[in-house]
Structure 1
Amino acid sequence: MKRDKLESCQIIIFGGTGDLTHRKLIPAFYNLLDQGLLPEEFSIIATGRSVDNQEAYVASIYKSLQKFVKREIKEEVWSSLRERIYYKSFDISNKDGYQDLKETLENLDNKYQSKSRRIFYLAMPPRFFGTIVESLEKYNLLDFSNPSWPKVVIEKPFGYDLESATELNNQITEVFPEENIYRIDHYLGKEMLQSMMMIRFANLVFEAIWDNKYIDNIQIISNEKVGVGDRGGYYEKSGALRDMVQNHMLQILALTAMEPPADMSTESIRTEKIKVLKTLANLELEQVDDYVIRGQYGIGKIDGEEVTAYRNEKNVVNDSSTETFVALKLFVNNLRWSGVPFYIKTGKRLPNKVTKVIIEFKSSFHPSYQKEFNDLSPNLLVIKIQPEEGINFEFNAKEPGSKAKIVPVKMDFCQNCQVGFNSPEAYERLMHSVIIGDQTLFTHWDEVEYSWRFVDQIAQAWAENKAEIPIYSAGSNGPTEAEELLEKDNRNWWE
């Protein structure tokens, strides 16, 4: 979209001195500006408490750009961005701060002709969300005369369970309508997740066989080599179930399993995703142990280097039962997916960093080949989300030179393997979508609600079951119970 079609606006970041702003948000704005994807007139107002003045803040931002932008910094782009960044020392609990912020925004409205079109980005812990949105209304920083504005952007975690998420949502929707709320799941900004619908719906060869008649199982895998690092305090309250499964993994599942939308509008796509999450099969408390595996990393080696156990990480208690690994089997109770298991696996301190979706098709070969060859591999469609972005299709063919031997071969497409090609970062897409008012890449409250309904069943069972959590060695594939989860179904993980 050209700049002259974008409405001028103000972007107010609460938590402007935090890690997210430095690593993701400001680099995203820099790249968008470089590509001409920001309005001709805009301003960024960053609030925080750890920097004293404008000069120090701008200097810290420049260092972050040098560190986190993939290409060499263009001085003309940086100069243009720098003059639009304004830093305000700010205490969210101080009413005088909101009055001062209001005056600043009004002055910048006049300078940039933004007409009170404001995006409030809450790059802070959820416990502050209610205070901020209530204060924005109380001190008259919001103008809803244009129904598309103002907008509020919210980071996960969105609650700790359904009850807390509902309470948080009620606080926000008391001020902002659902149409103006942008709940970020940065996985939805990744290139291949956006391509998934096109791969399926724009290719009859896939859409015609995207159901239980042809698909044996679907695996959604998101593994990390890193540990929790400095996030031990946060992770103790969330664990992999709340940090990954409730949002990222179930969002990928919804995109994979959804019915064809009536059109490509935000409303149609969201409607179909919500239907999937509503039809997830309930797990009775006594079923959880059979369908869900958890684990916690111990000491081990990653890339040949010894790493510590989770219980030895900073801000983690030494007898912690928090899970850093989850594997589960679930079902979508509708006509298309009846009987097809979906396997989800995610964990930290695993051998490789990878996120992908594997579609395993049924092994229904021609009778004459089934009779003669009893070890044929199933057809696989692999959608690679990160770090490699692309798709490969694995099928059977005659081995060259052999008389009669069939081997699996791959058709492989990697879109980020080309020299000089850089896919846009997730936050670039997401922030551009916020500016233009496209909510397709953001989660509706109904999606959040039904995800929590499913996850709460598992969390409740774990809370009642005081069994010792399995410990897996860092650098391994996780607890052996995760392998057994598929082996008892005569299947295996396609790592």
Structure 2
Amino acid sequence: MNDYVNPLRAPQDRRLPRVAGPCVLVIFGVTGDLSRKKLMPAVYDLANRGLLPPGFGLVGFARRDWEDQDFAQVVHDAVKEHARTPFREEVWQQLLEGIRFVSGTFDSDESFEKLRETITDLDSARGTGGNHAFYLSIPPSGFEQVMAQLSRHGLAERKVGNWNRVVIEKPFGHDLASAKELNRVVETLFQPQEVFRIDHYLGKETVQNMLALRFANQMFEPIWNNHYVSHVQITMAEDIGIGGRAGYFDGIGIARDVMQNHLLQLLALAAMEEPTSFEASQLRTEKKKVLAAARVPGRYDLHTARGQYAAGWQGGQQVIGYREEDGVAADSSTETYAAIRVDIENRRWAGVPFYLRTAKRMPRRVTEVALNFKRAPHLPFTATDTEELGTNALVMRIQPDEGVTLRFGAKVPGTQMEIREVSMDFGYGGSFTESSPEAYERLILDVLLGDPPLFPQQEEVELSWQILDPVLDYWSSLDEAPEEYRAGTWGPRSGLDMLARDGFVWRRP
């Protein structure tokens, strides 16, 4: 059914669902886990919801020696296993008519000539009108070669009335210099407005709800500042290890993997000023202002922490340490835990530290943004009345239990005055009957629509690297390995000390 509404669109655009026009989506790296588990199911879910047109084509490009029907079977199996919406044969048959596969490598002119012929045939047979989106689900090292081949074979030529776009998965480089070089390569062929950098966290319903919570409710915005907020904690914890990703993760580390993009984007959304509208340019302007004002305080030994998980118990099972994982060097100094303090030097947030932490092998999987408020200036209670009373907090849960929790003090029933900490909880699952689309559904549709508010611009990427690069340089200069923490615990001692020096403690989600 047609149920898509982009919450960041202007009100006049919300009356009808927005359906993509005729187009071809080409996925490079189509045999990877991302494509199988996220991209192909998302394409089917969009089609199942009536948000893709009959004139739609899906082309996979990879080394496998497949025919069209072999790739179609891979898509079918991925949809059956991972799609969010029910499988419907009539939807699948319509999608199947536009599925093609091109076997080849990035250095093969013959393969890219076959890709050009395939897309041209789809333009004719499916009426896709020369509108093409190229999804690079590949390592950044392959970008330059793919760009050169697209250019050489005329695959991104601009014609009147049609469009070409490119989609880039994070990481956007591994530091500021490489991010600039990556952007230079991409923009040799595509204009800035044709480049869509995917940060799938920005497609999550609850991330966007942060904007609704702040700007649609009068009660929160007056206290969303340094007069009332003592500090902010942004946590992205995973209860898994690296799995089979050692080839990618080792040498990269968790700070580059998720802190530079996901966590700093969450910080920008939580701290930004109200935009004049939710047009892409206005939203990006406010995010860039925050990132430009953000920095990690200079004593990196005091205001950052890194760790690496060791063997331990998790979920009732004994698990191995990071250095025992397949493909990881025995002397690896790659961090699996990273925490930093970020100060935002503007009038709203001066004096309020933002603490960001992310890690693997934590006790549970959780992503949240927690605003912790200052204590009341005067409490007309005895010490024994309030011994269990903590600080007020507003917690926005991004995953897995999407919702918002407000923590405050309340009187315990009885004849005497006793104040205890309680929580008022809102959960998406219990309040709405509508199911939330997956992040990749929204983001892929937005690419096909040319709708850019949820995609970071290059300037945001560079500002994020400017925040993180000095910390990474400091860590790489250290002789000692990251501090070990047992799997199934909340990280190394240095992470606890980082907050304790400022008089705070990490929340236990």
Pairwise same-fold verdict (TM > 0.5) = yes
Unaligned ranges ≥5, structure 2: 5-15
Supply the AA of the counterpart residue of 1:218.
V
* Contact kept? 2:19, 2:52, Cα under 8 Å: no
Residue of structure 2 equivalent to 1:322: 334
1:426 to 439, 447, 454: 439
Question: Are 1:18 and 2:42 matched, yes or no?
Answer: no
Matched-pair contact (CA < 8 Å) for 2:206–2:403: yes
- Higher mean C-alpha displacement, 67-76 vs 109-118: 67-76
**Residue-by-residue CA offset, 1:378-417 (whole Å, 9 max, x unaligned):** 1110100001111111111211234211112222111135
Q: C-alpha separation between the residues in 1 aligned to 2:382 and 2:53?
A: 61
In structure 1, the residue matched to 2:405 is 392
1:126-141 alignment to 2 at 5 Å? Answer: 126-141=140-155
Residue 53 (structure 1) aligned to one of 67, 74, 78 = 67
Note if contact 2:100-2:118 (Cα within 8 Å) is conserved in structure 1: no
2:48 aligned with 1:34, yes or no? yes
Deviation digits for residues 248-306 of structure 1 (CA, Å, limit 9, x no counterpart): 1101001001111121101000011111111112543xx11111000000001110101
Q: How many percent identity over aligned positions? A: 39
- C-alpha separation between the residues in 2 aligned to 1:474 and 1:12? 40
Structure 1 position 491 matched with structure 2 position 500: no
Residue identity matched to 1:334: N
1:52 CA displacement: 2.1
**Would you say 1:260 and 2:260 are equivalent positions?**
no
Corresponding residue for 1:462?
Answer: 475
What code does the residue aligned with 2:352 have?
Answer: V
- Which of 432, 439, 462 is 1:449 aligned to? 462
Query: Which residue of 1 is the match for residue 123 of structure 2?
Result: 109
Aligned to 2:13: none
Q: 2:492 corresponds to which residue? A: 479
Rounded Cα–Cα distance in structure 1 between residues aligned with 2:391 and 2:369: 15
- 1:318 maps to a residue whose letter is A
Structure-2 residue corresponding to 1:79? 93
Q: Displacement of 1:491 after TM fit?
A: 1.1
Cα distance, 1:198 vs. partner?
A: 0.6
Q: Match of 1:204, as an amino acid?
A: Q
2:347 alignment partner, one of 306, 328, 335: 335
Give the total of aligned pairs. Answer: 493
Give the Cα–Cα distance (whole angstroms) in 1 for the partners of residues 161 and 260 of structure 2.
31
Counterpart code for 2:475: W
8 Å CA contact 1:218, 1:342 repeated in 2: yes
Q: Is the 8 A contact 1:246 1:451 kept in 2?
A: yes
- Asked whether the equivalents of residues 355 and 385 of structure 1 are also in contact (C-alpha less than 8 Å), the reply is yes
- 1:166 aligned partner, one-letter code: K
Indicate how the Cα distance of structure 1 residues 390 and 45 shifts in structure 2: closer, same or farther if over 3 A, else same. Answer: same
Shift of 1:468: 2.8
Q: 1:301 aligns with which of 309, 313, 332?
A: 313
- SS of 1:73's equivalent in the other structure is coil
Identify the residue that residue 323 of structure 2 maps to in structure 1. 311
Return the offset for 1:64: 1.5
Tell whether the 8 Å contact from 2:238 to 2:361 is kept in structure 1 after alignment: yes
How has the CA–CA distance of structure 1 residues 383 and 106 changed in structure 2, closer, same or farther, with 3 Å as cutoff?
A: same
Matched, 1:96 2:110: yes
For the structure 1 residues 402 and 50, does the alpha-carbon distance in structure 2 shift closer, same or farther, using more than 3 Å as the test? farther
Structure 1 residue 234 and structure 2 residue 234: aligned? no
Say if 1:354 and 1:386, in contact at 8 Å, map to a contact too: yes
Task: Answer whether contact 1:17 1:51 (CA < 8 A) is retained.
Answer: no
The one-letter amino acid of 1:416's match is: G
CA contact (8 A) 1:291 1:485 kept: yes
8 A contact 1:416–1:423 mirrored in 2: no
Q: 1:116·1:142 contact (CA, 8 Å) conserved in 2? A: no
1:171–1:351: structure 2 CA closer, same or farther, 3 Å change rule?
A: same
Is residue 299–residue 474 contact of structure 1 (8 Å, CA) maintained in 2?
yes
Matched-pair contact (CA < 8 Å) for 2:226–2:350: yes
Match of 2:302 among 290, 297, 300: 290
Further displaced range: 129-138 or 115-124: 129-138
SS at match of 1:335: coil
- Specify the SS of the correspondent of 1:486: helix
Contact kept? 1:351, 1:475, Cα under 8 Å: yes
**CA-CA distance at 1:22 after TM superposition:** 0.7
Letter in 1 for 2:141: R
| Cα distance in 2 for residues equivalent to 1:418 and 1:71 | 20
Which amino acid is the alignment partner of residue 320 of structure 2?
Answer: T
